[in-house]
Amino acid sequence: MDSDKKVTILREGFLVKRGHVVHNWKARWFVLTPEKLLYYKYDGSRRDSCQRGKILLKDCVITCPFLEFENRPLVFKLQTKHGVNHFLEACSREQRDEWAAEITAEVNKLQTNEGVKATKQQEPGGSQLHNINLSKVLDSMYDVHSGIKMSNHVEQGSTYSNCFSGSAVVDWLVFMQLALTRVEAVTLASALLEEGFLRTVGLKSVAALRTAGLSEQFMDDSTALYSFSDSLKKRGSVKAETSLSAVELSGTVKKRGFLLKQGHRRKNWKVRLFVLRSEPAFLHYYDPTSDDISPVGGFSLRGCLVSSLDDNGVPSGVKGNIQGNLFKIITQSDTHYFIQAPSHQDKMDWIDAIREQT
């Protein structure tokens, strides 16, 4: 292709990619075009002009969600026509589903003449829900290897162990092809709830049942918690315990996204997954390349000052060849955080969201 030819960019942003040879996870900048998905390395605070790789979309098969990596529920898989698998992780369910949907749409456009559809989810014909065996679904959920993963969840200062979120159940049902769509998966999960196979945990899922009245309404929500009713099959019970870090992480998630953060000691720039919570207002950041689900750092937003930094020149305290879209947060204890957003709009959205909580 002629390099002077303007490429149509359909979508771009950070995704975390699993390496082919060394199976580590690295944050890369992805650019979706009509025929290819391109990715670039970020060298410090600046996008490398050299393209690191490309995925040809023709005849790709997309699997979303892809749930075979423990502690990474936001992965989707692209399999090329030559059978090469690419595993990509987004910062949120919404972002994951939007990326997968837009890639799928491009694959389908490339295949319109052949009448082939891209996603695995569309392979079976028609809804299977009317004759599904709920006991078999439950047995599959219990399966040690391929069943739903249970973990600790925090809600309003209490930690609930051995449970899972509503969204995780819906993801799993779609991934296992027990339901074709998320809507169908909610119907199936509601039936499991109604039959007493699953039960509500914590406040949000219980409140949903009350408002639903007689019908057992299951929530496709990452903050609504559920567990198995039969605690004999799964060792351990759901219990609530309160700790300081649990309180920090107990607020409602207001915003999630990949941002670049300058280190305090070495002043190097790294991609971090930032999660903004309210009540209590905290901003935590995670290392997306690590399998550890605990934050690398975080701070209370009470009394914080957040300000946009000018794109002209390098501000004091900032090191490196900056691409702009910088903002600074000064905490109550006078710690300075320099953060770079992928775009001006992202920067303004984050500043507004943080200011609402300070």
> For residue 207, what is the domain's CATH number?
1.10.10.10
- In the predicted model, is pLDDT for residue 74 greater than 80? yes
What is the percent of the chain where pLDDT is above 90?
44
Examine residue 28 and state whether it is found in any structural domain, yes or no. yes
Helix ranges restricted to H, 32-165: 93-110, 134-142
Token look-up 């943080």 returns 354
Examine residue 320 and state whether it is found in any structural domain, yes or no. yes
Q: Are residues 158 and 95 in the same domain?
A: no
* CATH of residue 42: 2.30.29.30
Rounded CA gap, 57 and 33, in Å? 9
Is the distance from CB of 62 to CB of 80 less than 8 angstroms?
A: no
Q: Are residues 222 and 292 in the same domain?
A: no
pLDDT for the residue 42: 77
**DSSP H/E element including 336:** strand 336-340
Q: Are residues 176 and 261 in the same domain?
A: no
Looking at 57-66, 224-233, 329-338, which range is the least confident one?
224-233
Looking at 72-81, 156-165, 267-276, 343-352, which range is the least confident one?
156-165
Rounded CA gap, 192 and 228, in Å? 10
Tens of pLDDT, residue by residue over 322-355, are 778 899 999 998 999 999 999 999 999 999 999 9
Domain carrying residue 219: 134-228
Which residues share a beta bridge with 310? Answer: none
Phi, psi (rounded to 5 degrees) for 61: -115, 130
Is the distance from CB of 154 to CB of 249 less than 8 angstroms?
A: yes
Rounded CA gap, 321 and 335, in Å? 22
Phi, psi (rounded to 5 degrees) for 330: -110, 120
The amino acid present at 161, given as its one-letter code, is S
pTM of the model: 0.71
Q: Are residues 262 and 349 in the same domain?
A: yes
239 pLDDT band, cuts 50/70/90, is very low
Is the distance from CB of 116 to CB of 174 less than 8 angstroms?
A: no
Cα-atom radius of gyration of the chain, to the nearest Å? 22
Q: Are residues 262 and 335 in the same domain?
A: yes
Is the distance from CB of 254 to CB of 352 less than 8 angstroms?
A: no
Question: Distance of CA 358 to CAs 74, 77, 278, 348, Å?
Answer: 29, 38, 10, 15
Examine residue 129 and state whether it is found in any structural domain, yes or no. no
Tally of domains within the chain: 3
Q: Are residues 206 and 252 in the same domain?
A: no
Rounded CA gap, 168 and 222, in Å? 7
Token look-up 């698998």 returns 85
143 pLDDT band, cuts 50/70/90, is confident
How long a stretch of residues is the chain? 358
- What is the residue-averaged pLDDT of the chain? 82
**Higher-scoring residue by pLDDT: 113, 209:** 209
